[in-house]
Each structure stands twice: as structure tokens, then as C-alpha cells.
Amino acid sequence: MKWKLGALLVVGVLLVSMVPAGWTYIKGDGVQTTVTPSTGIVTGMKPEPQAPQHQMTLQIDNTNALIQSEITPIVDGLGMAIAPFIDESGNTMLPMRFLAEAFGAEVGYDDTKRATTMTVGEAPEEGEVSTQIVAELKQNDPIMMVNGTQHTLSAAPVNVNGTFYVPVRAVSEAFDWQVQFVPKESGAFVFVGDGEEAFSDEDVVYLRTEGAEKLGLSTTQHVNDSLILRAGAEDMLGNGQLLDLPEGQGLIYQEGSGYYLPTEIMAQISGGILSADGFGNLMQDSKVISTDTIEQEGLYYHNITAFATALSQNYMELGNGIIMLTKNELAQDDNRCAAIVSIVMERLPAITETIPVADHYVALTFDDGPTSGLTPKLLDGLLERGAHATFFMCGYRIEDFNSFGSRYLAEGHELGNHTMDHENLTNLTTSGQKQQMNDTTALIEQYMGGAPTLMRPTGGAYNDNVKATMRELGYPVIMWSLDTQDWKTRNEDAVYKEIVNNVQDGDIILMHDLYSTTVDAVFRAMDALTLQGYAFVTVSELAEIRGIELQPGEVYNNLRAAA
Ligand code: ZN
């Protein structure tokens, strides 16, 4: 995760006193919304008592924990930040592996019982009395077996994105661990200990103070104390509340100079402290405070760093087109940033037609479809990931599989022509080539609701004659720069590795929506590459990003940036 901490300048005491306590936002209809920040910080005296031994402090929605007073990030098996949460029935759910490892418990899986096990203590030697405790838990099953005795849990363990969460109270009871909850108003902490005694009142005060000092704000508290915008989103978040942006007036990004916001929105958010003069300069107290202005469609936009400075806010770019202005300095903690990004991406979805802000772009292309069942699954996964792809279709397939045809354009994908009968065009006369193309285009228009904009020759076979035909019919000829060999291996791991090991910015990746192994592999590859700053766009979007106008009859193998 890439992020930067912007410079923070305090612009004098006078200004600080003018800064509103919350974000004020006046909508077009004149309705004023003021949202005030919640602090969530627990203050208290530092008492004499020491931290209790063998103890762990967690906080709801905080991706860090304290184990024996040491800050410890909570991560899943893939190294992604995770955090405790409270389920709909009020059960506090903790990641089981993290909980177990903090107390030296072994986690295993019992194949015959299909249960996840947590074991405390050594297996007994022969003749010894066992002191070992084994708990068996199953996903979505509220029954826990402890040394063969059945216990009913207040909540079934759940699997969230591959992490097994358990209700902390019930599991702790199985091992005689102590648990203490601190309510939301006092910080939403959970203390777990394996000592003999329950936590005393002094312990709780101590741990609460220590937790507030060391763990900082939870992810939710950070979001609730900030102004967050995302490029391409229709709303913004002001202290955790969704505030709508005027149509077409969101955050915009300029290569090299960062993010800009329209004056009008800046003025509203700042409660009128900021304005613009007739030249578009950003004004505060009748003084020009920034001339870093761009004009777009008759509106002035100002660099967000000037805005942050004027309001004495910390400014951060969190990746994925997300910026955050906050009074609370965010610890330089990638784990926490990742957790905030995932909340924001869910709450501020980017509009699908816009090209996402990313470090690298590639075009995923799928040939020889559509395929009933498989292509819809692929479309679902692309939609979930905010990704666009290009589909080079065969006419004979469209005749058979077209019930989902309207989805392609609606979900931002690009339509491509791959001939009617998967014919090698170099073996055909000019009129044969045209017939193969025109018949397919007619079917695409009929079932997909729009004409194809590109073509890919079957088998990648083209010659001057094919190029001349495509020039006449208006199709750029799209080849590829990364061949996944998916048709040959039909193996998920192999296809996944071909992509992630070879991908370069600007690649056109060849796949086929004919095999479920391809679909599974591409989802995995997309998830891995997203973490490396990649976004997935159509071939034409990739050309647009590169400033290339695709020409009919010209052949494109990739759309990498010019060296
Ligand atoms: Zn093909």
C-alpha cells in the first residue's frame, strides 16, 4: 500500500479558531449539515498497578492489538489487516488464530471431524493424567466440543474473507481465560488474559489507558473523524456520514500535481472560510492563498493540499484514488491504512465508467466466448473488483449463449469481434473475411446492444490483406503481449503464475472465457495485482490512458508506455 503524509502547516491562531468543529456541508437545496467529530479517546490517570501478566488488549475495528503491552498488527494468512468486530447479535468476534497464538495454543484441523481445533497444553505421556484442553469448532456451527463435552456457543464461528472468527467469550470459557469488555463509549476494548484471577477494576483502568495511548484510534474512529473523498465516487464521507457531491463535481487527479477539488465544494465544506476570486485563485480572509488552479468545464478546481493547509488538517493519499483530511495524525502504519482503504472502497464506490486511478494498467481480454454459466460468473467477478475487460466473441457462440448480453456494456466492458465461425482469416477471400466479420457484428449489436469496436484475428493470424479489410471495416487489430496459455494448460495455478510472473504495465493479456480454470485464475491474479497497484481496463481505455488513438487496420501487440 502506497501512501504519503502531506505537509501540515498551521496558519496561525486566528485561523485555528475559525475552523469549524465539524465538517459543515451545505447542499444545493440550502440544507446545512454539520457533522461533529467524535474523539473516542479515553483519558484517565495513570495508576500505579502494572499490566496484568499474560494479557492481550484488542479493540473493535482496530487492526493492531497489544500483547503484553507490545503493539502487534493483526493480519490474516495473506498478511492483510484484519480486526475484531461485533456481530449483529452483539457477540465480539476475534480471529481465532491470533487469539490462540497470543496464549501459546495450537491451532489445527481435524479432517475426520471437519473441525478446527485449538489445543492448550502438552499431550500427556502414557500413564499421566491429561491436563490438555482441546476445543473443536466448526464454521457456522454453534456447537463447540471441549475434551468431548458439548458446549453451545452464543454465536457460530464464521469465515470472513478466509479468516476464521470465534466468539471470544465462549472460547475463552473453554480454556478458563479471563475476558473483560469495555463498552463503545469508553473505547470498545476487549481484554483477554490467561491468569487465575478476573481483571480487577484497577487492571481495567490501567489497560484502558494503555490501550487508548498505544493503539490510537480504531479504523472506524479514523473514518469518523475525517473528510474522505475518492476520485470517481458520487459521494464523500464527512465524519463518517455520506454527503453527496454535485453531479460531475468530484475529486480530480492531475498527473504530477495530485488531487483537486472544485471551489464551491471546498467553500461549503469549510463553512465559507474559503472562496475563489474571479481568476480562480483560492481565497481566505480576502487574501490569495493558492494560485494552483485548474479549470474544467467552466469550474475552478484547487489543489487539495492548499485546502488542507488552510484548514490545518493532515492530508493523506491512501491509494485507489482515496484522499483523507484528518485532524488525527494517522500512525505510519500500512496495516491501518489498508483497513481504512477497504472501508472507504465499500462506502464510496467509484463510478464504473471512469478509469480508476492506479500505478499500472493492463487489459484483460477473453476470446472465443460467450459461454453459458461461465461468462456470467466472470462478469460477476469483474464487477465485484471494479474491473473492465475486452471480450472478442465468436458469432456462432452468441447465437447459442446470449441471455446475459446486455451486461457487457452496462458493466463497462468492451466488445470485440473474433469472426463468426472462428475462421483463420488469412485463408479467406476479402469477401469471405467481410462476411465473417459483418455477420458477427450484426449478432453483437442484436444481443449486446452495441457494435464491436475492435477485432482479434483467430489464432492471431493476419496478413496485409486482412489488415486492409479491417481498415475498410473500421476495426483496429488487437493482438496480445502476454499469452496465458490457458487453452493448453487448463490449470488454475499455471494460468495464475503466467499472469503474475510476467505482467507488465500496458500489457494486453490473452485468455479465453471457455474454461473455469481461467476464470478462477484471473480472479486470483487480479486480487494479487491490485495489491501491486494495478487496475484493469478495456483495450480502448488502455489506449486512452497512453494517449494513443487506435487506428483501423493497424496491429497492436501491447499498449505499454513509450520507452
Ligand atoms: Zn480464438
Distance from the CA of 352 to the center of ligand 1, in angstroms?
Answer: 28
Find the angle CA(155)-CA(157)-CA(162) to the nearest 5 degrees: 145
- Classify residue 321 by burial, with Cβ atoms within 10 Å: 0-12, 13-18, 19+: buried
- Is this model's pTM higher than 0.85 or not? no
Find the angle CA(191)-CA(192)-CA(193) to the nearest 5 degrees: 125
Tell me: pLDDT of 534 over 80: yes
- Cα distance between the two ends of the chain: 26
Distance from the CA of 455 to the center of ligand 1, in angstroms?
Answer: 11
The strand ranges marked E within 205-342 are: 226-230, 235-238, 241-244, 252-254, 258-262, 274-276, 282-284, 287-290, 293-296, 299-303, 314-319, 322-326
**What average pLDDT does range 38-57 have in this prediction?**
57
Tell me: pLDDT of 83 over 80: yes
Contact at 8 Å (CB) between 185 and 39?
no
Distance from the CA of 534 to the center of ligand 1, in angstroms?
Answer: 26
CB atoms within 10 A of CB 268: 21
Contact at 8 Å (CB) between 103 and 94?
no
Contact at 8 Å (CB) between 553 and 471?
yes
d(Cα 217, Cα 500) in Å, to the nearest integer?
A: 36
To which H or E segment does residue 195 belong? none
Distance from the CA of 388 to the center of ligand 1, in angstroms?
Answer: 20
Distance from the CA of 443 to the center of ligand 1, in angstroms?
Answer: 17
Closest CA to 242 of 316, 384, 344, 320: 344
Distance from the CA of 458 to the center of ligand 1, in angstroms?
Answer: 5
Q: How many CA atoms lie within 13 A of 451 on its CB side?
A: 9
Q: Is 123 helix (H, G, I), strand (E, B) or coil?
A: coil
Q: Are strands 23-26 and 163-167 parallel, antiparallel or unpaired?
A: unpaired
Count how many residues are written for the chain. 563
Contact at 8 Å (CB) between 426 and 461?
yes
User: In the structure, what pLDDT confidence band is assigned to residue 277 with cuts at 50, 70 and 90?
Assistant: confident
Find the angle CA(118)-CA(124)-CA(127) to the nearest 5 degrees: 150
pLDDT in tens, 137-193: 998 899 999 999 999 998 999 887 778 999 999 888 888 899 999 988 788 899 999
Instruction: Provide the percentage of residues in the chain whose pLDDT is more than 70.
Output: 88
Taking each helix axis from N to C terminus, what angle separates 374-384 and 516-531, rounded to the nearest 10 degrees? 10
d(Cα 74, Cα 63) in Å, to the nearest integer?
A: 5
CB atoms within 10 A of CB 85: 16
Distance from the CA of 367 to the center of ligand 1, in angstroms?
Answer: 5
Distance from the CA of 425 to the center of ligand 1, in angstroms?
Answer: 12
Hey, what amino acid is at 285?
D
pLDDT in tens, 308-326: 888 888 888 887 778 999 8
Name residue 315's beta-bridge partners.
325
Contact at 8 Å (CB) between 95 and 101?
no
Distance from the CA of 421 to the center of ligand 1, in angstroms?
Answer: 10
Name residue 57's beta-bridge partners.
66, 191
Contact at 8 Å (CB) between 245 and 234?
yes
Distance from the CA of 423 to the center of ligand 1, in angstroms?
Answer: 9
Mean pLDDT of the residues in the chain: 85
d(Cα 477, Cα 468) in Å, to the nearest integer?
A: 11
Q: Is 91 helix (H, G, I), strand (E, B) or coil?
A: coil
Query: Helices marked H in 449-515 — which ranges?
Result: 464-473, 486-489, 492-502
Q: For residues 51 and 82, which has the higher predicted lDDT (pLDDT)? A: 82
Tell me: pLDDT of 563 over 70: no
User: In the structure, what pLDDT confidence band is assigned to residue 33 with cuts at 50, 70 and 90?
Assistant: low
Active site residues: 367, 512
pLDDT in tens, 455-510: 999 999 999 999 999 999 999 999 999 999 999 999 999 999 999 999 999 999 99
Q: How many CA atoms lie within 13 A of 530 on its CB side?
A: 21
Tell me: pLDDT of 349 over 50: yes
Distance from the CA of 460 to the center of ligand 1, in angstroms?
Answer: 8
Distance from the CA of 452 to the center of ligand 1, in angstroms?
Answer: 16
d(Cα 490, Cα 483) in Å, to the nearest integer?
A: 13
Distance from the CA of 307 to the center of ligand 1, in angstroms?
Answer: 52
Query: Helices marked H in 103-218 — which ranges?
Result: 168-174, 201-215
**What average pLDDT does range 365-382 have in this prediction?**
92
Distance from the CA of 442 to the center of ligand 1, in angstroms?
Answer: 19
